[in-house]
Structure 1
Amino acid sequence: MCFAPKFKISVKQLTKKVFLFGRLFYYQGSAVECPVCKHSFRKMLPGGFHADVINKLEIIGAGYRLHNICPYCLSTDRDRLVFLYLINRTQFFNNSNRVLHISPEPSLHRIFKKSTNLTYLIGTKYAEGSYYPAGISFFDLLSIPYPDNNFDVIICNHVLEHIEDDIQAMAELFRVLKPGGYAILQVPISNKIEKTIEDFTIIKPEERHEAFGQFDHVRVYGPDYKERLEAVGFLVEKQSPYTQEWNINHLFKYALNKKEELYIAHKSPNQDKTK
């Protein structure tokens, strides 16, 4: 007797696969390349929020971008910048690293969770109606439930602009980072203003969208963002493949935002480990 294999796939899964195939067919080409999934396309997908304040203040890392999202893995220009930094400027994928990833980006999460050299932990604050990957821990960034000096690397991108007491959140990230470790702490930022703009009396989503560029943001960071990080103990450097040598050929193919710089926040190796 011959038994034919049985394949079970839901209508939703089938629809998703058909849609992905159609998207990849439409965007097939070689003009741009995603370093995360290694696929090439004729262009990236557009994506992002529209808001007048984003254009007015030229907020970097925010707004609608024509060449933003990878058609295959859905990495954004921000995700690709972080990934390129990790593979070209660090030993992230070579050393045994204990990593905390806050509100993980799906494209990066898929890569990191498969990396055998990483002890990879993910966490976020629970929000009703949101989808979360398996294994995620729910906690408030104002009180991270891990011991001092616990992680070699922390990745926390586009989170702090959602938190009113961002200084306390920064202090907590500093506390759980090991001496000699580093954190990648990206936020939307404007160089058109001298100091960070925030107003906690603005609570309505539509008013926050108008004031800060997104319905759930509570501020627009200015150049003093670096000083805020330094105030809790971090040693901060800014990194960009456009101003520093990352040993990347054909950089234009990765569809990055040329204006975006990475904020790399280090904890001194000489930091008192008892603190």
Structure 2
Amino acid sequence: MRALNVAKSAVKNFAFHKLGRCNVCGKISLFVCLDVDLARNNMYCMFCRSSSRKRHVAKIILSEVIQNTPSISCIPKKQSLKIYSTDTNDAFYKVLSNYDSYTSSIFSPNIKTGTEIHERVFCQNLEKLTFDNETFDLVITEDVFEHVRDYQRGFSEVNRVLKTGGYHIFTVPCYFDRPTLVRVDTSTDEDVYLLPPEYHGDKIRGKILAYRTFGIDLFHFLHSLGFETRVDFSNYSDQKLGIFNSYVFITRKVFHHESLSVATVDPSYYQLHSSGN
């Protein structure tokens, strides 16, 4: 049934398909549009199934971290760069599964954190990663941190496992003209819903709770952890890569953040920014 619905959507949106070169698998491909309004989350490459959003992340990796490389698939297998992605069985995993320094993870509450499920595929909790300090040159997370209950600890953990000078390339839903919209108060052990619960689809758990939509205060918080941060917004020239209506955060670790206390948000934050007004 799902395959039939996908086929119907592809036919319905045929006029919006685009021909270009995929910067993940490196092939000339047709980027298939299934939903014009949510183009960043589809426009799938017909070969590696990368989405518009993933190709935007790839664009940043290839311009900021691994320069002079035409696609993710062309990264040399013996490249010393250590990469960690919180996604698995995605387009990056397909083209980098034989890359010796590529690690990916899933999160499952039924599996002990740190367990190696497959070769270089681990069960990890972003709030308490089991990797050593300064292990990775690059960490990739895509639309993950809105689902991390203690996002402050999660970002601090990313800072800890990154080498100084390393990059965290990530995407999250974000308002760039207002503070973070807190949907669930997590200041105690019990979740307190401030807004009707919002769930997003998840390949493993079916659906997962969104605790927040980030806002402009995210930049100050990341700075307090030791990150330099900027955002890349997609533009017209990106369409040749099948990138549409997307933005990607680029953070670079300038120094190691030792304590969460410096960056902890005051509890009144939850009351001040819990409404949509």
* TM-score above 0.5: yes
1:35 pairs with 2:23: yes
TM-score by length of 2: 0.66
Find the aligned partners of 1:121 and 1:90 in 2 and give their Cα distance. Answer: 16
TM-score by length of 1: 0.67
Find the aligned partners of 1:30 and 1:163 in 2 and give their Cα distance. Answer: 34
> Which runs of 5 or more structure 2 residues have no equivalent in the other structure?
68-74, 111-115, 185-191, 201-206, 260-277
Deviations 1:118-172 (A, max 9, x none): 51111221167xxx98332112111110111111111112110101210010001
Kindly report which structure 2 residues correspond to 1:122-271, keeping only aligned pairs within 5 A, or say none. 122-126=104-108, 134-135=118-119, 136-191=121-176, 193-200=177-184, 201-202=192-193, 207-209=197-199, 216-240=209-233, 242=235, 251-258=238-245, 260-268=246-254, 271=255
Q: Give every structure 1 segment of 4 or more consecutive aligned residues whose post-TM-superposition deviation is greater than 4 Å.
A: 272-275
| Structure 1 vs Structure 2 CA RMSD | 3.8
Aligned residue number for residue 59 of structure 1: none
For residue 109 of structure 1, the aligned residue among 93, 109, 116 is 93
Aligned residue number for residue 265 of structure 2: none
The structural deviation recorded for 1:237 is: 2.3
Query: How many pairs align?
Result: 221
The structural deviation recorded for 1:209 is: 4.3
Output the amino acid matched with 1:163. Answer: V
Find the aligned partners of 2:142 and 2:18 in 1 and give their Cα distance. Answer: 29
Higher strand share: 2
Residues 141 and 150 from structure 1, CA distance in 2 versus in 1: closer, same or farther, beyond 3 angstroms? Answer: same
> Which runs of 5 or more structure 1 residues have no equivalent in the other structure?
1-15, 49-62, 244-249
Contact 1:124–1:137 (CA under 8 A) maintained in structure 2:
yes
Residues 88 and 272 from structure 1, CA distance in 2 versus in 1: closer, same or farther, beyond 3 angstroms? Answer: closer
